[in-house]
Amino acid sequence: MTAVKALVFDTFGTVVDWRSGIARALAPFLVAHGRPDLDPFALADAWRRRYQPAMEECRAGRRPFTRLDVLHRENLETMLADHGVSAAAADLDALNLAWHALDPWPDVILGLHRLRRKFFVAPLSNGNILLLANMAKRAGIPWDAILGAETVQAYKPQPEAYTRTAEILGITPAELCLVAAHNGDLRAARAAGLATAFVFRRAEHGPGQATDMTAEDPWDWVCQDFVDLAKQLDC
Amino acid sequence: MTAVKALVFDTFGTVVDWRSGIARALAPFLVAHGRPDLDPFALADAWRRRYQPAMEECRAGRRPFTRLDVLHRENLETMLADHGVSAAAADLDALNLAWHALDPWPDVILGLHRLRRKFFVAPLSNGNILLLANMAKRAGIPWDAILGAETVQAYKPQPEAYTRTAEILGITPAELCLVAAHNGDLRAARAAGLATAFVFRRAEHGPGQATDMTAEDPWDWVCQDFVDLAKQLDC
């Protein structure tokens, strides 16, 4: 097997707990807007459900590449309208920044500090550069660079999202490993020639999670968390 | 004046001492290749003299955007041929990485640590992403993100290099300040609407330096080094 030189990480779900973070931001917003009856976790899920369809417009070429902050903002407005909630534009702008302020899972910071001594580490996320950089700065995530969809102008699982990232890093796809909690992301990465590491995030979707509870393919590495990955990679 | 929210930094000359670093890498290379008679500082200057003309091919549209590692590698080969030096491709590849391993000026790390508490800080360099990220990792430069020509697919002083960087950061050009030791870079940044900070780097070109010894225009800030800039910006 080709030696891996760089690790890139899916972010939402793999590095950060987006569901708790978004619900945490929605809760006071709903109270302030007179709707404490609504469940912030259900609304977080509803907001997130619009994520893939919005990117699909860009992937399918029906819309030019549009950074995720813009898609999130549009999705927020539609999602709230569906629930009969209206708010001032400035309040929606502020709420949209909740995606910049998500917390990493407890193993992430230590695991990455160990992994980065041996490997180049960067996000390969559909999040835009500012979102990922603000998230890293707030939480102390020690990335070597901020990469992702905006840098390569392609949304995962488009093959270019993976191959152009390897090109930027001056390595072959086989020298690049995607770390992700999602079998679908890893399948697309493997099809593009990347090495693959699956990490279990059994709480990403809350207590009823039904997806990505197992490693569905023989990934190159399967790990419990980032510290376990560091151990497996002798970091 | 509009409040500045992010600082972006020219890199070669402003953040790092490229001339000493390149000469330091050239010296053992020249000895190993039987040419200890050649002056590594003169060759560093000769290599660097090919930098602007190479980028100009891309800026003028005669060549698609090509990352700096590739231009540096081509320039190295031509520069050495001019001096009658030949070497194996692998040795040239290794020498080309000297641009990834330059040292910051002594005030840089402390100054940036102070500045980044209040501002978003990133390079806005014609260096490519991998070059800048490797440089930062080796030297401990605490960037919030790696930005620059490769991210925006335009070489300074093209206006898009400045304006697209502001767009990525979700701010107006006036909310973005370029920090540079070069009056020409600052002039282009100001023309694109950015705020400007001049920093003296009187040793960039060695003892005989004749350019950029003064702030040639009334820049928004003029500082002796990055720690001085942090003081002036109340960081």
Domains of chain B, earliest start first: 6-17+102-232 (3.40.50.1000), 18-100 (1.10.150.240)
Give the count of beta carbons closer than 10 Å to the beta carbon of residue A87: 18
Name the residue among B153, B217, B151 with its Cα closest to residue B190.
Answer: B217
The answer to whether B120 contacts A137, with C-beta atoms less than 8 Å apart, is yes
**Residue A2: pLDDT band by 50, 70, 90 thresholds?**
confident
The answer to whether A130 contacts B169, with C-beta atoms less than 8 Å apart, is yes
Q: What is the pLDDT of residues B95-136, one digit of tens each?
A: 999 999 999 999 999 999 999 999 999 999 999 999 999 999
**Looking at CA atoms only, how far is residue A36 from chain B in angstroms?**
32
> What is the pLDDT at residue A184?
98
Q: Does A96 touch chain B (CB under 8 A)?
A: no
- Percent of all residues in chain B with a pLDDT value above 70, rounded to a whole number: 100
Q: What is the pLDDT of residues A101-138, one digit of tens each?
A: 999 999 999 999 999 999 999 999 999 999 999 999 99
Give the count of beta carbons closer than 10 Å to the beta carbon of residue A51: 16
In A15-146, beta strands by DSSP E: 120-125
Name the residue among B208, B215, B160, B213 with its Cα closest to residue B186.
Answer: B215
> What is the pLDDT at residue A166?
98
ipTM, 2 decimals? 0.95
Give the count of beta carbons closer than 10 Å to the beta carbon of residue B39: 13
In terms of DSSP bridges, do strands A120-125 and A147-148 run parallel, antiparallel, or are they unpaired?
parallel
**Burial (CB count <10 Å: 0-12, 13-18, 19+), residue A229:** buried
Q: Does A120 touch chain B (CB under 8 A)?
A: yes
* Shortest CA distance from B139: residue in chain A: A144
The answer to whether B130 contacts A69, with C-beta atoms less than 8 Å apart, is no
pLDDT reading at A1 higher than 80? no
**Residue B2: pLDDT band by 50, 70, 90 thresholds?**
confident
Q: Which residues of B touch A120 (CB under 8 A)?
A: 133, 137
Q: Is the CA virtual torsion A40, A43, A45, A48 positive or negative?
A: negative
The CA-CA-CA angle for residues B50, B46, B8, to 5°, reads 60
**Looking at CA atoms only, how far is residue B144 from chain A in angstroms?**
6
Q: Does A170 touch chain B (CB under 8 A)?
A: yes
Q: Does A144 touch chain B (CB under 8 A)?
A: yes
DSSP H or E run through B178 = strand B176-180
* Shortest CA distance from A70: residue in chain B: B170
**Looking at CA atoms only, how far is residue A82 from chain B in angstroms?**
28
**Looking at CA atoms only, how far is residue B149 from chain A in angstroms?**
11
**Residue B171: pLDDT band by 50, 70, 90 thresholds?**
very high
**C-alpha distance from residue A5 to each of A161, B82, B188 (Å):** 18, 35, 38
> What is the pLDDT at residue A62?
97
Q: Does B112 touch chain A (CB under 8 A)?
A: no
Q: Is the CA virtual torsion B210, B211, B215, B218 positive or negative?
A: positive
Mean pLDDT of A203-224: 97
Q: Quick check: B39 and B119 in contact, CB under 8 A?
A: no
